[in-house]
Amino acid sequence: MRFSDRVDAGRRLAERLGHLRGEHPVVLGLPRGGVPVAFEVARALDAPLDVILVRKLGVPYHRELGFGALGEGGVRVIRDDIVRMSRVDEDDLAEVERSEAAELARRAERFRAGQPRVPLKGRTAVVVDDGIATGATAAAACQVARAQGAARVVLAVPVAPPDAAAAFRKEVDELVCLSTPPLFSAVGEWYRDFSQTSDEEVVELLRRNAEERGAGGGEAHSGALKIPVDGGRTTLAGDLTMPADCPGLVVFAHGSGSSRLSPRNRAVAEALNAAGLGTLLFDLLTPLEEGDRANVFAVEPLAHRLTEVTRWLRHRETVPICYFGASTGAAAALWAAADAAAGDGDGIAAVVSRGGRPDLAGPRLPEVTAPTLLIVGGHDETVLDLNRQAARQLRCENRLAVVPGATHLFEEPGTLESVADLARDWFTAHLAAPAAAS
């Protein structure tokens, strides 16, 4: 059996995998050549597509001869027979592994662009390649999927030599292989067009899969992110949680001296997640930038960075975006909301400020159009007065909510829970409002 190209192979393979649709699988393509095949499989199964990253470990003096493979999560598959035959010593092995581990990290960043891996825990993982030669890379990929918590691992390939196919039937829960020709020398000979797949094509296919499936609205997904800003020169750490079918995503802007690890913001985020809302907690500044205290209170640059992160999110999540700001972060959130209102794109659905300094957003306050809730502790008298003044400057729908007995950090028993309840009700009410009106 010969295939016109990888698209043809993927469509033919998908016909044999239809029985998996009811298992709601995750399809994992081996970059680069396996991804165009996997894209067609994922489309047919209405499944999320991700890459599963492994690197062949090649003999130093003959790199095409693989003595094993390296996968994400520290998975190693070594062919002892080839190591003995090629006389690869430990130093050679270590050097090759170091080089390939660096390339593995580069590809993860390149292909996923900071997005977390699609969670595999408890799922059926369908590992797809354009064909099997020695099988070392596919074996590593299947082990990586198993290590990441997949309940079932299915290996699906258009073509493989008979001996490799027979071996894999014992290694995976299910093998789907369309052709096992007895005279097999290379995968490419079974394709009329076996031209190289580029990194850009892999990225585009992942993007198309997410777009076609409406990324962010259906499948639950979460994980650590690396968010590019400043034209890709700077990377910010973030933690994303997206419950299934969530109506909106709340982006947290922390205050001075705080970070995405703030226990108060995390407690509020958990309450929002429990209500079905998505959350992103991220560091507005890098550790080096935080070393300059002037950056911590520079509201306009912080707001512009929040706007950058929001734009990045809009390319990956299709749900409305809200802001939750604390202390000086509230000023950055309101400033960024004003920028969003003045721009050509979608605005911010709602803003909540906790113990915020909206006064630092100054003249931008009248430009905010997002419904805004200002939450202040009853014993935080100076900040309460500043919020009262800010509320008078806001022209959008707004409300000042005072939590009795609370000081600035809401450390008193029950006060932070009150903040979470107020924020949850504000966000859910204003996320539901556009749907009700449409």
Taking the chain (438 residues) in runs of 10, the rounded mean pLDDT of each run is 95 95 89 96 92 84 71 75 76 83 86 77 91 88 87 96 92 96 93 93 90 61 82 85 88 82 91 92 85 76 92 83 94 94 74 95 94 97 96 96 95 95 94 54
Residue keyed to tokens 């749907």:
435
Q: Which residues face 125 on adjacent strands? A: 26, 153
**First vs last C-alpha separation in the chain:** 52
What is the structure's pLDDT at 82? 77
- Residue type at 306? L
Pairs from 270-274 (Cβ < 8 Å, separation ≥ 24): 271/417, 271/420, 271/421, 271/423, 271/424, 272/420, 272/423, 272/424, 272/427, 273/241, 273/243
Q: Which residues face 33 on adjacent strands? A: none
Contact between 414 and 377 (Cβ < 8 Å): no
Is the preceding omega at residue 264 within 30 degrees of 0, hence cis?
Answer: no
Q: Which residues face 28 on adjacent strands? A: 50, 127
- Residue type at 102? A
- Return all residues near 346 (Cβ < 8 A) that are at least 6 apart: 314, 320, 321, 340
Burial class (CB in 10 A: 0-12, 13-18, 19+), 57: buried
Q: pTM of the full predicted structure?
A: 0.54
Assigned token pair, 385: 């007065």
Contact between 34 and 201 (Cβ < 8 Å): no
* SS3 of residue 62 by DSSP: strand
Alpha carbon separation from 390 to 78, 83, 361, 363, 372 (Å, rounded): 64, 71, 9, 10, 11
Identify which of 297, 277, 289, 171 has the alpha carbon closest to the alpha carbon of residue 236: 289
- Residue type at 303? A
What is the structure's pLDDT at 340? 87
